[in-house]
Amino acid sequence: MEMEKNHKILFEPLKIGPKTTKNRFYQVPHCNGMGHRWPRTMAEMRGVKAEGGWGVVCTEECSIHPTSDLTPATLMRLWDDSDLPVHELMINKVHEHGALAGIQLVHNGQSVSNYLSRMPALAPSPCPTETANSTQARGMDKEDIKVLRRWFREAAIRSQRAGYDIIYVYAAHGIMTLLYQFILKRYNQRTDEYGGSLENRVRLVREILEDTKDAVGQDCAVAFRFAVDELLGEDGMHPAEAEDIVGTLAEVPDLWDVNVADWGNDSLPSRFGVEGAQEKYIKFVKGITTKPVVGVGRFTSPDIMASQINRGVLDLIGAARPSIADPFLPKKIQEGRSNEIRECIGCNMCTTGDYVAYPMRCTQNPTMGEEWRKGWHPEKIPLAKSKDTILVVGGGPTGLEATLALSNRSYDVTLAEARNEMGGRVLSETKLGPLRQWKRVADYRTSMLSNRSNVDSFTQSKMDVDAILELGANHVAMATGSKWRLDLLGIHHRFKDVKIHAPMMISPEQIMLGHTPTDHVLIFDDDHYYLGSALAEQLAELGLKVTLVTPAPEVSGWTHFSLEYEHIQIKLRELGVTIICNHGIAQIGDGFVDLSCVFVGTKQRVEVNTVVPVTSRISQDDLYYKVLARRQEWQDNGIKSVTRIGDCYAPGTIAMAVYAGHEFARNLDMPINADIPFRRENDFELGRSWQGFKT
């Protein structure tokens, strides 16, 4: 297959200062929960992206000094030369495939509490730190500024020695960076030459840009990452001020990397924004500077990417999330396989790795984070070890991924789905308007399976024990999913001790399948992720009165990590949803619910027509146990194994469901250590195997 003619512009080289990138695909700096703690895991992940065709592959944030200690977050450090082996490991992986390696140097100022270093945080002016743990940031004096400039310069020189091609000066993502804190007037109350006027507030940024260029500019490109709008109006960075800043610094950096702040607006969840949503904010930059401009927008369509360049919006197509969902996106476009792109769904499961400090995951790409730990490659998979056949029962995210991966291994697979369409819980949940983009999980896999000669797919095929035995597949994977409970059992209500008037109850699945309650609906959310708020939003949009109750102190608390939280809070309040926190359910009667305060037990009654519990799910594993009960018949019917996978085994997120399907397919007929099925990194191994590393 040949690349489409209008996509060729994406593969033109571009000069960035003294460096030249081979194409226009630019993996912007992004966090990943790996960093200095799991360096091999991080390096292999970045290397796979370079192999997949990204012309530039950057690090995440890289702290330059212990006064910017990001603990407990797991990011990069470059405090002194002892940190270099981690960087060299990544750089070598990136250079191996002809990509440029970039590093995003950062000091986070008042946005850290330095839990590991125990050093006072720094800020333009004295203030509390942003972590709300009763610590204060020290206002910097002139000597501090002088020292900070030295730290940046030394970090840039170390970066050059390590082998980086592009070195960042970073002032973006709201209050996350000290340099942006200097620019923002609400954080900079200085009265000297570094405060007051815009020229003064930008002074430190200019000095560090010039210092960096002076130190490494002959050999390395210097990039400036800048948030042009905080979407706060006059209270924050706004268009007029941003245009002045770009104008005054226009030709100083070799590259402008522009976005909007904060991170929740930059990596906008698909519930709240479409592909290319940042264009209206960043498009002015190209008209002011002659230097190349890169920006992001959850780009997955090559037509939209080419349009951005052709219309003079961007010179380079920046990506974090799309490069995670499909590290081989550039190669697929180049080889005329755009239809095979595993498109990002914008769920932001990837961002949770940074907040929770574990190697990031991806709903669409189950190999993300497992490139080194398990040796999983997004485009390569070991061929079948036998001629065995497989039956997958259930065409949800687990069953679809298992079938696709098994077919890639060249196994003959039969996929049986009871419903009239593949997709399972994904199909159901994306009936809710806010989650529409998530249907890509099912669409990608059904599309890829549609032309597989070694896969027989059947819908409206409800399997029973006799049908499974008669088919005689050698291995049976039970991917029959789970369903939401109606008995309130969850994190808060651990026992079935609540009196429930059953006719009041309807399940989330009933709402998803089109059942619309009447009048006043109470949603009890003890799941704390996305579904409770998505149901509330859907029903409120239909004109119903909605009350959302949670025993937690806030609605959808886990979405802090997926960058959805603030958007959800705003949307629910705009729709008039009544929110009641810190309450469980004491009783559900005919036309009412009695709530109970989680702290002191005081009661309040809410008159409602319907209750939708979003608490926990129970595996639909009846068929598995029925097949297990007839184990004595397996051998006569050629069955070697029957395995529960995905939600049928243990309910979890869609990302976990996809991962479980892929894991089953990868492990079939393979030697696996069942106790610890992945490689680990530890100081002894690193010290022994990295030349020059001192333990």
Q: What number of helices (H) and strands (E) belong to the chain?
A: 22, 29
Q: How confident is residue 688, by pLDDT bands cut at 50, 70 and 90?
A: very low
d(CA 533, CA 160): 47
Q: Are strands 592-597 and 583-589 parallel, antiparallel or unpaired?
A: antiparallel
Structure tokens at 390: 């497989």
Structure tokens at 104: 């995003």
pLDDT digits (tens, 9 = 90+) for 588-605: 999 999 999 999 999 999
* Stretch(es) of the chain classified as CATH 3.40.50.720: 389-481+620-667
pLDDT, mean of residues 247-270: 96
Q: Is the pLDDT of residue 496 over 80?
A: no
Residues 6+ positions from 379 with CB-CB distance below 8 Å: 52, 328
Residue ranges with strand state E in 423-519: 455-458, 475-478, 482-484, 499-500
Task: Return the active site residues.
Answer: 31, 170, 173, 266
Query: Structurally, what CATH architecture does the domain formed by 5-353 represent?
Result: Alpha-Beta Barrel (3.20)
pLDDT, mean of residues 450-476: 97
Q: Is the pLDDT of residue 690 over 60?
A: no
Establish whether the linkage from the previous residue to 83 is cis, with ω within 30° of 0: no
pTM of the model: 0.95
Report how far Cα 312 is from the mean position of its chain's Cα atoms.
Answer: 28
Structure tokens at 203: 């002074």
Question: Would you call 21 helix, strand, or coil by DSSP?
Answer: strand
Place of tokens 């929740």: 264
DSSP annotation of 620: -
Q: How confident is residue 131, by pLDDT bands cut at 50, 70 and 90?
A: confident
Closest CA to 466 of 285, 639, 678, 233: 639
The CA angle 104-108-114, to the nearest 5 degrees, is 120
Place of tokens 């992720």: 529
Q: Is the Cβ–Cβ distance between 410 and 456 less than 8 Å?
A: no
Phi, psi values for residue 385, rounded to 5°: -95, 0
DSSP annotation of 117: T
Q: How far is CA 683 from CA 539, 687, 694, in A?
A: 52, 6, 10
Question: Would you call 597 helix, strand, or coil by DSSP?
Answer: strand
Q: Is the pLDDT of residue 256 over 90?
A: yes
Q: For the residues of 642-659, what is the DSSP string, one character each?
A: EEE-GGGTS---HHHHHH
Q: Is the pLDDT of residue 324 over 80?
A: yes
User: Looking at the domain 389-481+620-667, which fold is it?
Assistant: Rossmann fold (3.40.50)
Q: What pLDDT sits at residue 683?
A: 57
Count CB atoms within 10 A of the CB of residue 161.
13
Q: Are strands 293-295 and 255-260 parallel, antiparallel or unpaired?
A: parallel
Strand order in the sheet with 475-478: 455-458, 412-416, 389-393, 475-478, 641-644
d(CA 677, CA 586): 44
Establish whether the linkage from the previous residue to 322 is cis, with ω within 30° of 0: no
Q: How far is CA 615 from CA 319, 578, 597, 656, in A?
A: 35, 19, 17, 18
Q: How confident is residue 654, by pLDDT bands cut at 50, 70 and 90?
A: very high
d(CA 355, CA 364): 20
Q: Residue 605 forms beta bridges with which residues?
A: 594
Q: What pLDDT sits at residue 130?
A: 83
Q: Residue 294 forms beta bridges with which residues?
A: 257, 316
Q: Is the pLDDT of residue 691 over 90?
A: no
d(CA 251, CA 266): 24
- Residue 361's identity, in one-letter code, is R
Radius of gyration of the chain (CA): 27
- Tell whether domain 487-618 is in CATH 1.10.599.10: no
How much of the chain exceeds pLDDT 70, in percent? 98
DSSP annotation of 156: H
Helix (H) or strand (E) holding 293: strand 293-295
Q: Residue 611 forms beta bridges with which residues?
A: 505, 522
Place of tokens 């696996």: 672
Strand order in the sheet with 603-607: 499-500, 583-589, 592-597, 603-607
Q: What pLDDT sits at residue 54?
A: 98
DSSP annotation of 166: E
Q: What pLDDT sits at residue 364?
A: 98
Place of tokens 């499974």: 468
Strand order in the sheet with 545-549: 578-580, 545-549, 520-525, 610-614
Closest CA to 657 of 455, 395, 407, 450: 395
Burial (CB count <10 Å: 0-12, 13-18, 19+), residue 520: middle
Q: What pLDDT sits at residue 689?
A: 46
Mean residue pLDDT of the chain comes to: 95
pLDDT, mean of residues 288-310: 98
pLDDT, mean of residues 71-96: 95
d(CA 380, CA 564): 33
Q: What pLDDT sits at residue 132?
A: 63
For the chain, give percent helix, strand, coil, nearest 5.
35, 20, 45
Question: Would you call 416 helix, strand, or coil by DSSP?
Answer: strand
pLDDT, mean of residues 435-453: 97
pLDDT, mean of residues 534-561: 97
Residue ranges with strand state E in 284-402: 293-295, 316-319, 389-393
Closest CA to 557 of 547, 568, 546: 568
Phi, psi values for residue 373, rounded to 5°: -60, -45
d(CA 273, CA 258): 18
Structure tokens at 236: 């924050």
